[in-house]
Amino acid sequence: MKKLKRVLKVTEDGSHTFYMPDLDEHYHSTHGAIQESMHIFLNAGFHFTQQDTIHILEIGFGTGLNCFLTVTEAEKQNRKVIYHSIELYPLEKELVQNLNYANQTDKEFSTIFQKLHSCKWNEDVQINENFTLRKLQGDLIDFQFPSKYDLIYFDAFAPDVQPNLWSQDIFEKIYQATNSKAILTTYCTKGIVKRALRAAGFKVKRLPGPPGKREMLRATRINDFEPTGDQS
């Protein structure tokens, strides 16, 4: 996947995404990348939580869009965020610098977007007073999470493209790395994903999706869950 071609596209809300022709897969919804990210990860995830200091794990740093929107929302709410994001195939600098996510925002935030990408991997970086980022370069399949999290942004490529990332094993690993009452949000509502999440110890709720998508999922950790075996 590392060497695969990525083509810059404008989505329906004017924000960019990348398209990978070899996989016929986009990084975001073509109906609106910012719109989708705000709906699924910020409104159904970040804004649904209440911790003054929140530990977030993102699966798939990609363009940094979810991370960037979380920085801006954390500033508005004056909340502290410790943000870990795992990525196996970081985007090349030349691709990142064409992305238009920071164009509509204050200069302060446009500098921050570049900083999210230029900062070092695998170490804590203070992005601003409220936001600490650690980009983790590695493979979700065999990764040992260094912390416990309150909120998971599960933003892997679709199960048709990467079925091994949406398995019960992966969700069990994530369950082990979550705090009491943690939640996970994702765009994918496939039956196989819901079953794998339930079998791993999450209560799954369908919510209205962003424009162009009927539904999305929010899963809540069931504390003291006793696994009953493979149900996927």
Ligand X SMILES: C[S@@+](CC[C@H](N)C(=O)[O-])C[C@H]1O[C@@H](n2cnc3c(N)ncnc32)[C@H](O)[C@@H]1O
Residues lying near ligand X in the complex (CB under 6 A): 27, 60, 62-63, 65-66, 86-89, 139-141, 155-157, 162, 165
- Separation of alpha carbons 82 and 74, rounded Å: 11
Question: Smaller CB distance to ligand X: residue 145 or 225?
Answer: 145
Three-state SS for 66?
Answer: helix
Task: Tell me the Ramachandran region of residue 181: left when phi exceeds 0, alpha when psi lies from -120 to 50, beta otherwise.
Answer: left
Residue bearing tokens 């699924």: 40
Question: Smaller CB distance to ligand X: residue 27 or 175?
Answer: 27
The distance of closest approach from Cβ of residue 214 to ligand X in the complex, given in angstroms and rounded to an integer, is 19
Question: Smaller CB distance to ligand X: residue 3 or 107?
Answer: 3
Bridge-based pairing of strands 16-20 and 178-186 is unpaired
Q: Alpha helix (H) ranges present in the chain?
A: 33-37, 65-77, 93-96, 107-118, 168-176, 191-199
The distance of closest approach from Cβ of residue 6 to ligand X in the complex, given in angstroms and rounded to an integer, is 10
The distance of closest approach from Cβ of residue 220 to ligand X in the complex, given in angstroms and rounded to an integer, is 21
The distance of closest approach from Cβ of residue 56 to ligand X in the complex, given in angstroms and rounded to an integer, is 12
